[in-house]
Amino acid sequence: MAKAKFIFTKHHNSFSVKVPNLERLSVEQIQEIESFVKMRKGIFDFSSYSFVIQKRIEFEEFSLLLQNSSLDVMLEENIVIKESQPRVSFGQYKGMFYSEIPDSYLLWLKSNYRGKDREKIETELSKRSL
């Protein structure tokens, strides 16, 4: 049985975790991951093989959280280097960099936003593989 691989990425107000080997996991392993995410009021997105939890947490804290759970995973950190990036010009995250907004909000924008910043949103979705 394959061991789940988690790639942790910290954002400004949240973090996301990509599970690149999701297809190789058993149904039971996927259900355990879903339960872990649901208990923390997160969202699991099967189309991007990732989950988000809207909470500020550091990599070390997430690692301890996993150690205290029943999940058996390999964990690595994805460090995002901030470049000169566009800022959000609307809504609750106005003024923040697109790279800082939570995946959950970005996924919501993907389905619901049709304004002038659509290209910036698509670019950020692509960068995060969402």
Give the three-state DSSP class for 102: coil
Would you give the DSSP letter of residue 19? Answer: -
pLDDT at 24: 95
Q: How high is the mean pLDDT of the chain?
A: 89
- The residue ranking higher by pLDDT, 11 or 47, is 47
- What's the CA angle centered on 61, arms 92 and 88, to 5 degrees? 20
Digit-coded pLDDT (tens) for 107-119 = 999 889 888 889 8
> Is the model's pLDDT at 51 over the cut of 80?
yes
- The residue ranking higher by pLDDT, 1 or 104, is 104
> Is the model's pLDDT at 5 over the cut of 70?
yes
> Is the model's pLDDT at 103 over the cut of 80?
yes
> Is the model's pLDDT at 80 over the cut of 80?
no
61 sits in which H/E element: helix 59-67
Digit-coded pLDDT (tens) for 23-45 = 999 999 999 999 999 998 889 99
